[in-house]
Structure 1
Amino acid sequence: MDGPGTITWEEFLENAKRFLVVSNKISDGWELRGNKHIPGEAYLFRRTKSFESSDSAMRDDKSTDNDEELHVKFQEDPHEACSTIETPFITEHHILWSMNFGVPVFYFNRWKSDFPGINPMSVNEAQTDSKLNYMELSQAIHPIIGTPFLQLHPCLSQDLLQSMPMSKNKLVSWLSCVASAAINLQIHPEYYKLTY
């Protein structure tokens, strides 16, 4: 697809290459994967690992006074087992180019695990646990690697791209709007320099 609010495969690749130069400079971890010689067969990729604290008691609603005493004991005695557990999360972000829409498309997955593919986050969990602000989130088969991913639907991306005709890197302009508003992904300010 070609026209206002779209980018060509060549523009996507050029914008991605400039994006990667900045990523490498600031050690942000993005890379280009796939076959860039075939339209739509390459994508930007980044994997991160984080830990979130949670109460180790993981109590159900049947909390007792004894449970409260145990919790206080954990806080008072530094030699006792820690009362919080660090839960590992692996997150992958993929930015693809849609041949049908002529726009970038954001795919991501998050696993409650030390390893990708184990205990994936559902659409419901992504919208509630991650406090996503984007209702057009669905599960879709990743068009390049063929596994289920969460996808931000590209239907509004054309309007978004059309509203930034002066941008020198439409991929960054689009990502800065979509990522922070939809999935709470913060974009390093260094990327913005590519847009002017």
Structure 2
Amino acid sequence: MSLQKTITLENFVNACRKFCDISDRINDGWKLIENQSDKHKCYIKKCTFVHQVLHGNKFLLKTEYVIFFNLSYGVPSFSFNIWNSSGVLLTLDEIRQMSLISINKEDFYSVITQQEHPVLQRPYFIMHPCHTEALLGEFKDVSKNIIVTFLGLIMPLLKLDLPLAYGL
């Protein structure tokens, strides 16, 4: 871990507040969940529905996105779950097939795995923070908001929608 590439918990929480202020203005659904007794357990969350076309059929999926601070790496960490309309959690391979970029299983699995969420204490798909540290290290000092930069970098992999209003 390079201290040049990390951010502080305080910087993370401030970026989350600013990000959620914009989300509130544009009605995008991101909410800041603050834990006053343990700042390390602060995170932002968005629950939404997305449409997915697979083999010519259109499906409605429920998604839950959570961005939390990874203490070990000093970077935001992205976690998520996606359920089909029957309430069944999608598999990692089904999620890989939703990606906007073509990526083989091995590469996708080296970036995203399912594990117990360090804050929420239940299974989530989590993007490996070592990749986040490398990506954000290039932008940390020039980014207006590290959360916007972070989401902008990962959105093609996970088919996230990030309105332009966040960058203005």
TM-score by length of 2: 0.84
What is the count of residue pairs matched by the alignment?
Answer: 160
The whole-number CA distance in structure 2 between the counterparts of 1:113 and 1:91 is 11
Unaligned runs of 5+ in 2: none
Counterpart Cα distance in 2 of 1:31 and 1:90: 17
Instruction: Call closer, same or farther: CA 1:3–1:100 in 2, change over 3 Å.
Output: same
Pairwise mapping of residues 87-98 of structure 1 onto structure 2 (< 5 A)? 87-98=59-70
One of 107, 111, 116 as aligned partner of 1:141? 116
CA distance in 2, matches of 1:54, 1:2: 41
How far is the alpha carbon of 1:53 from its aligned partner? 6.5
Larger radius of gyration: 1
What TM-score results when the alignment is normalised by the length of structure 1? 0.73
TM-align CA RMSD: 2.4
- Percent of aligned positions that are identical: 28
SS of the aligned residue for 1:186 comes to coil
- Over residues 15-45 of structure 1, what are the superposed CA-to-partner deviations in whole Å (9 max), with x where a residue is unaligned? 0000011000000000012415523201110
2:153 matched to which residue of 1? Answer: 177
DSSP 3-state at the match of 1:105:
strand
SS of the counterpart of 1:138? Answer: strand
Question: Residue 67 of structure 2 aligns to which amino acid in structure 1?
Answer: I
**Contact conserved, 1:2 with 1:102, CA < 8 A, in 2?**
no
**Superposition deviation, residue 174 in structure 1:** 1.6
After superposition, the Cα gap between the structure-2 partners of 1:175 and 1:88, relative to the gap in structure 1 and judged at 3 Å, is: closer
Q: List gaps (5 residues or longer) in structure 1.
A: 56-83
Q: Which amino acid is the alignment partner of residue 107 of structure 1? A: S
Structure 2 partner of 1:104: 76
For the 8 Å contact 2:70–2:77, the answer to whether it is kept is yes
Name the counterpart of 1:74: none
Q: Any conservation in 2 of the 1:142–1:149 contact (CA below 8 Å)?
A: yes
Structure 1 segment 28-177 matched on structure 2, within 5 A: 28-52=28-52, 87-113=59-85, 118-128=87-97, 130-131=98-99, 133=101, 135=108, 136-164=111-139, 165-177=141-153
What is the deviation of 1:50? 3.7
